[in-house]
Structure 1
Amino acid sequence: MGSFGLIIALLLIGIIENCICGASIPVCITNCVQCKQMFGPYFQGKACGDACITSNGNLMPDCNNAGTLGNFLKRLY
């Protein structure tokens, strides 16, 4: 009975981990859309979305933090 409970616990931990990690990609893409709305044509929304997907949501853009937007802003000149 003890090993069966351990197997169930490990399966549940794996399922929960997948749910938590998978939730960061939609949040990341939502942030990209929000930044695109804020900065308009000066923000490269597609590049931001592509970076979100390839990094599995680890690259989280913050529209109020210039350090996270440097690669996605177009130059004004």
Structure 2
Amino acid sequence: MHSSVLLLYLSLALISRAFASDTDYDPYADLDDTFDSYTMEENMSICVVACAKCHDMLGDVFDHMKCARFCIRRKGRTIPDCHNARTVRRFLQLDYFKKHSSRSHISCTLR
């Protein structure tokens, strides 16, 4: 989301709370919570998109569904980098070639 959308969202939240019947309302009390949840959702989205890109780059050896579930479970805090083996190794299906190879040797094509 763009910063203008975030600003609009926060403004609407503040306005709607200002018209509530609560007279002790502090308009900035829950501002940080709103921003944190927005950042978490944005990070989760970035993480899931990164999983799809890694699947495009690495092919069926990369389990993008497992990666996406990991993103959601970790709330987007760990975003996979397709060029860094440490961040994608847990999503590699190393037995994929055994299951899908009709020959005794492993052959793969670059995408």
Provide TM-score, normalisation by structure 2: 0.60
Aligned equivalent of 2:42, options 18, 23, 29: 23
Cα displacement string for residues 1-28 of structure 1 (whole angstroms, at most 9, x for unaligned residues): xxx58x2112222211211122100000
User: 1 CA distance for matches of 2:48 and 2:60?
Assistant: 17
User: 2 CA distance for matches of 1:50 and 1:17?
Assistant: 21
Q: Which residue of 2 aligns with 1:67?
A: 86
Runs of 5+ unmatched residues, structure 1: none
Indicate the structure (1 or 2) with the bigger Cα radius of gyration.
Answer: 2
Tell me the amino acid that sits aligned with residue 58 of structure 1.
R
Runs of 5+ unmatched residues, structure 2: 1-23, 99-111
SS at match of 1:33: helix
Q: Which residue of 2 aligns with 1:47?
A: 66
SS at match of 2:31: helix
Provide TM-score, normalisation by structure 1: 0.83
Cα displacement string for residues 16-75 of structure 1 (whole angstroms, at most 9, x for unaligned residues): 121112210000000000000000111011110111111111121110111001101122
Identity %: 26
Runs of 4+ more than 6 Å apart: none
